A and B are shown apart, each in its own frame.
Chain A
């Protein structure tokens, strides 16, 4: 990461390694995301995508390397302190507060970063309208469909007004019709709020469609990084996903 890139608002991993009991789940990974940019993080199962997002958000301790936010090292900060510095994340399966309504879940996202109750209500109302969730505002989270839970989860992260947004499998298990709605929410976070977005998902087409740039991880290391079309045709990526025999077949 050049020092020039650090003067603009950048979330960056510098040779990050995460090891559990001797196993290197992530090995010397470097990449960065700027505000207003969507970076897709893809890779086969076990590639280290979620571990990397956990490390970036403070839920996994890094063994080597560093993570910087706008040039300042945040590797030592707890997740809640990173959130206050503008780094929001979602979790696999949403992890909504199930007894609370969609509105209350979103309000909490604002309250948690210091907004007053009035400001949290205002932000939540605006976001509910913007994301088409207004009619579901009073519905308890555990009564929402999976797709709506995912949208509320993203809205709960977006309401804090983060500079960077880490989305962990937001499209998992969603039917095709819900993907477009989710994509709109993410696109609004990027273009409307100038957030830098890192999105992990197994639905590679969904990620490719959203991303300006794609980083492919395999065995905890960066395999390829580039524009979606470049990555899509990259032989190593095809091999990582489908194996060399399948790749040979595809390339014919």
Chain B
């Protein structure tokens, strides 16, 4: 807290004030993007909507990756599942019959409203992440990263090839484009509120303890599996929800739009912003979301200060992949140095300035005995100063 407030306010009031400020910072940033976006031309407004939706996805990633410290390449699977569910169930039945004739009956006939589709997408994201998480959350480090990548691959290939659940490699068209600035801003605010509420919970505090020191956490009784699973499911729900926002923004979707490019772009945003703080996720999502929209437009041709140019196809993805690796190597704590809004605003010191990197690509969760000092390993120094005086009474 600021020096002035420290002297005036009692500790509980300062804590509440700090809490409110930490929640309001990210929400205020979203409000600013929404307000500025509302003033823009129709074309630029689309970019603002895109920034808000992308930020919601990044916040979804943060809930698991940021709080657990375990990298996951699979969260975009839940975005894809949410997007496909929302798209299929809101597309006119006639369009479905014409473009996806092989759909299962439960996908072919019902038609949901916009709000229903958002809720169903969130629910499906949660259910799918629960199923995946039950199998994967016992893994950590590099194995977890590889396994989550496999989830992304499986999801992509199933959606791209199984025409009973979608259009296969083609596009789902005629999706109601209901995500304007208000829906995108409210949706993103809901994602932020969920992430903020979660990080106040006992489960999240214990998960963060396991992120800091898995061995010590297990030693005091933290079930890393359980708390990682909770975060994974909430992350899946937010990603599914954001996927529905996304498809209702685009008006059409194909599975290739929900694959590697989006995975690396959103991971880059999280890492560049600061993967271990909600403020970092929001900052990364909005700032790099602008770059993402610009580059996406530039691939199909754009004009800046009267200069028209077109970027080679795929360059936008390469730029974000380079940003991801560069941030991991050079600034693993990101722009915010993993601090929340108020700490950044007050210039407070970053946590563990010489500590470990933001997310773990390798390392364990204290499963192996080798993680604990065993046998003689811990006592070399102490053994040189053994204090044993034979024959003298104990103090």
Contact = CB atoms under 8 A, between A and B. Distances in A.
A and B from one complex? yes
Interface of A: 20, 25, 44-51, 54, 57, 59-61, 78-81, 83-84, 88-93, 95-100, 108-109, 111-113, 116-117, 142, 156-157, 160, 168-169, 172-173, 201-206, 208-209, 228-229, 232-233, 238, 241, 250
Given A78-B218, A169-B379, A241-B386, A205 B395 contact: yes
B373 interface: yes
B395 A83 contact: no
B366 A59 contact: yes
SS of B interface (majority) = loop
Given A111-B202, A233-B391, A89 B369 contact: no
Contact of B386 (A61, A96, A203): A203
B87 to A, nearest CB: 41
A207 B386 CA distance: 11
Contacts of A48: 375
Contacts of B381: 172-173
A78 B206 CA distance: 17
A49 B377 CA distance: 11
A118 B382 CA distance: 39
Given A91-B216, A112-B206, A169-B382, A203 B387 contact: yes
B391 A57 contact: no
B390 A59 contact: no
B352 A111 contact: no
Interface size range of chain B in the complex: 35 or more
A112 B374 contact: no
B369 A54 contact: yes
B106 interface: no
Contact of A46 (B205, B216, B224, B376): B376
A172 B375 contact: no
Contact of B215 (A49, A91, A116, A232): A91
Contacts of B355: 98-99
Contact of A45 (B372, B379, B387, B389): B379
B223 interface: yes
B219 interface: yes
B209 interface: yes
Given A61-B369, A205-B388, A232-B390, A109 B379 contact: no
Contacts of A168: 373, 378
B387 A83 contact: no
Contact of A173 (B219, B373, B382): B382
B375 A117 contact: no
B113 to A, nearest CB: 38
A51 B53 CA distance: 51
B394 A208 contact: yes
Contact of A205 (B215, B223, B389): B389
B376 A59 contact: no
Contacts of B222: 80, 112
Contacts of B386: 202-204, 241
